[in-house]
A and B are shown apart, each in its own frame.
Chain A
């Protein structure tokens, strides 16, 4: 069972429809008790970092996430929240992974980045199994995570940035797999089939 964390700042419906198309079992919930029973969690995210962190706090979900030991996938803002800090609204985030999200350089590129961008990845990671290297995924974001030691896939805009990251059981994708056609479907399928111990 996959739990989609519902905290008022995510496109939970779209992620839910994508899992339905995969015929995967899932719940959409903001209840710690319900989410704790899940084999894996997805943290979607749309909107501003500050609003999202406040919503997570308000719903008492912070401890559940930071102590989570089974597979976890943050999507878009949901990935950015896993890091220490976001330049967006000078927001302290979950601090699970060291790093800071920064605004794209407006002198070098249009902000926000809207559209399909190529993703190149390190084949060692199961999340991208069966996905062609250099495949297009759908992105919609103004802030990004620069390359770090936790980067497992990268894309290019004003420079290279993290398209996907991993630290232990925590995965994050900057793009929207639920809106990325067949390749996004494959990635989500890989995640929902991931062993509980990863």
Chain B
């Protein structure tokens, strides 16, 4: 069986990694290409980089930048942010990305998942889903967490699976930046509903949070940003902790 994965997320703006708290109040955490190479060497299993300004400002992900990352590292990585055309995906994959993550564009046009999966394979198509817990429900948000949709979190996750997405990157907005742990309750329920890999995102603050997400919820991968970028938790240390506690990761 595949190992559980640890994925640092590089939110990118103008070629620099930034990480906010609940999507506002951005802090600069360093050069993305340099960080990518560093993570690759320190045992990160893959990387996600999201052009967080893309949807809001209609700015396309910088293809040259993806190429630089691909030249620098020899682990897989996902690119997201403002991708709405098959030609965008083709350019990103050809530049060296392994997967694309789609968020707002698939809410606007769910068939885009199916088209992308047919053309590039499900393994290249990650559905990035942002949910926020409010009034006992989990509505789906788009546009970098700025716009609420009529979609319900669990239903949308099941739908992207049936449309051909190869993986779900689930961000719990209400946990994001809090450092109080992943939304174990939502993730546990979700894992019982879908049969594609799920990456948990939002809320990682310490090693125990990862263990909880892997062991209790059964997620396939955990994603975090600030925690890693500011050197608060090293990936070798995290993996050693997981190993001691019976979670198999890549050594």
Contact = CB atoms under 8 A, between A and B. Distances in A.
Interface in A147-165: 156-157
A116 B197 CA distance: 13
A41 to B, nearest CB: 19
B121 to A, nearest CB: 5
Interface in A6-35: 11-14, 17-18, 20-21
Interface residues on A, range: 35 or more
Contact of A48 (B3, B5, B121): B121
A185 interface: yes
Nearest to A109: B1
Interface in B83-99: 93-96, 98-99
Interface residues of B, number: 35
A21 B70 CA distance: 11
B119 interface: yes
A17 B5 contact: no
A178 B120 contact: no
Contact of A138 (B75, B122, B195, B196): B75
Of the listed residues A47, A116, A136, A178, the one surrounded by the most CB atoms of chain B closer than 10 A to its CB is A116
B123 A106 contact: no
Contacts of A180: 74-75
B interface, by DSSP: helix, strand, loop or mixed? loop
Given A46-B93, A115-B45, A156-B1, A176 B76 contact: yes
Interface in A99-149: 106, 109-117, 136, 138-142
A111 B194 CA distance: 10
A51 interface: yes
Contacts of A20: 71
A128 B110 CA distance: 43
Given A13-B94, A114-B167, A106 B195 contact: yes
Contacts of A140: 76, 98-99, 123-124, 166
B195 A14 contact: no
A179 B119 contact: no
A114 B166 contact: yes
Nearest to B40: A181
A interface, by DSSP: helix, strand, loop or mixed? mixed
Nearest to B199: A114
Contacts of A71: none
A157 B2 contact: yes
A14 B220 CA distance: 24
B123 A117 contact: no
A14 B74 CA distance: 8
B162 to A, nearest CB: 12
B212 interface: no
A51 B2 contact: no
Contacts of A106: 195
Given A142-B122, A179-B75, A180-B74, A113 B96 contact: no
B2 A117 contact: yes
Nearest to A117: B2
B197 A115 contact: yes
Considering the complex of A and B, which 7 residue pairs feature the smallest CB-CB distances, nearest first? Answer: A115-B2, A140-B123, A116-B250, A136-B250, A47-B121, A13-B96, A112-B123
Interface of B: 1-3, 5, 40, 45-46, 67, 70-71, 74-76, 93-96, 98-99, 118-124, 166-167, 195-197, 220-221, 250-251
16 contacts: A14-B70, A18-B74, A21-B74, A46-B123, A48-B118, A48-B121, A106-B195, A110-B195, A110-B220, A112-B167, A116-B2, A117-B3, A136-B250, A140-B124, A141-B123, A142-B122
Given A47-B120, A138-B76, A176-B98, 16 more contacts: A11-B98, A13-B70, A14-B70, A18-B74, A47-B124, A110-B220, A111-B196, A112-B122, A112-B123, A112-B197, A114-B197, A115-B3, A116-B45, A139-B2, A142-B121, A185-B74
